[in-house]
Amino acid sequence: MNSSGQWRYSVVRWIGFAVTTLFVLPGVCLGQHISWERLSEGLMVSVWKPIHSCPTVPTMLVVDLDPERTRFSVHNYAQEGFTQPPKIGEWQHRTGHPLVFNAGLFRENFTYLGLLYQSGRSVGSRRHSSWKGLFVAEPTAIGVKKARVLDLASDTFDEQRPVYGEVAQALMLLDQSGKIRVRDSGKYAYQTIVAETERGHILVFKSLGVVPLYDIGRCFKETLPTIRRAMAMDGGSSSDLRIVESLWEKDLHSQEGDSWKSLFSGSTSFHIPLPTVIGVSPR
């Protein structure tokens, strides 16, 4: 084979390898690489820092959940018999879920703002007219996806006969057309994001630093093209996520040297009482 032929052969082999890698490795996407660690069936985690593509976005904890293998449950403190909202560690101890994260916003009296359904029963307030993000899970009908992020600007939701048993309303962040649905306010806070991917998986992001919601939406749009829709749960000091340490067979460390197990267990974070959480368990 002459030098020209060898060059073409090498290029073809390189392209083939790149395409194969793109489709075989679950953490690889066109915009940004996320390295996943599998903790259990249907549950993977990562510590993601998009340094070059999104310089204003801090390190984020990420959980990848397969709804075919994991079950979602909404828990409200009043429905669970608590007199006051517990912190996330107590929530996890009481419910037994391997993963727990905070739901949407609430009033000073701990009443949930917007639609909230637990086991098919409304336990929140009336529909919030401005917030179009709706996390739904555990359908009562056959042939329906087990968990989704709905956009109330285009999707319907029957409050009298809900198709899903577990529901939590909050802000729409990024819609299916790629539009960022929050304004660029410049307000910095810790953030919890729930997203739906093209594969039908649910991603939960928890920022380890303060960041404007708009910057996260722009980062997702530019670097994570597999995200179909994303919504923002409550932020600030209410932003919280916890995974039990017993799921870890080995510990990993972030670029800053932090233990993944410690980060996901919440042992390095400050926690406040949470009126409503979403728990995740194996099916």
Complete DSSP assignment for 237-262: GG--EEE-GGG-SS--B-TT--BHHH
Residues 243 and 142 in one domain: yes
Q: How many domains does the chain have?
A: 2
> Given a cut of 80, is residue 19 above it in pLDDT?
no
Residues 88 and 225 in one domain: yes
Q: Domain of residue 180: give its range.
A: 31-282
- Cα 81 to the chain's mean position, in Å? 27
Out of 48-62, 111-125, 159-173, least confident range: 48-62
- Write down the pLDDT at residue 1: 52
> Given a cut of 80, is residue 12 above it in pLDDT?
no
Q: Is residue 45 within 8 Å of 264, Cβ to Cβ?
A: yes
Residues 138 and 271 in one domain: yes
- Write down the pLDDT at residue 177: 97
DSSP three-state, residue 190: coil
Using CA atoms, how far residue 248 sits from 26, 44, 92, 98, in Å, is 20, 11, 16, 11
Residues 17 and 113 in one domain: no
Residues 46 and 5 in one domain: no
Distance, CA of 262 to CA of 59 (rounded, Å): 15
pTM, to two decimals: 0.88
For residue 70, the one-letter residue type is: T
Residues 151 and 180 in one domain: yes
Residues 22 and 95 in one domain: no
> Given a cut of 80, is residue 6 above it in pLDDT?
no
Q: Is residue 44 within 8 Å of 37, Cβ to Cβ?
A: yes
For residue 104, the one-letter residue type is: G
For residue 201, the one-letter residue type is: H
Distance, CA of 32 to CA of 229 (rounded, Å): 17
For residue range 88-145, list pLDDT tens digits in order. 999 999 999 999 999 999 999 999 999 999 999 999 999 999 999 999 999 999 999 9
Tokens 């293998």 locate to 69
Torsion of CA 81, 86, 92, 93, to 10 degrees: -70
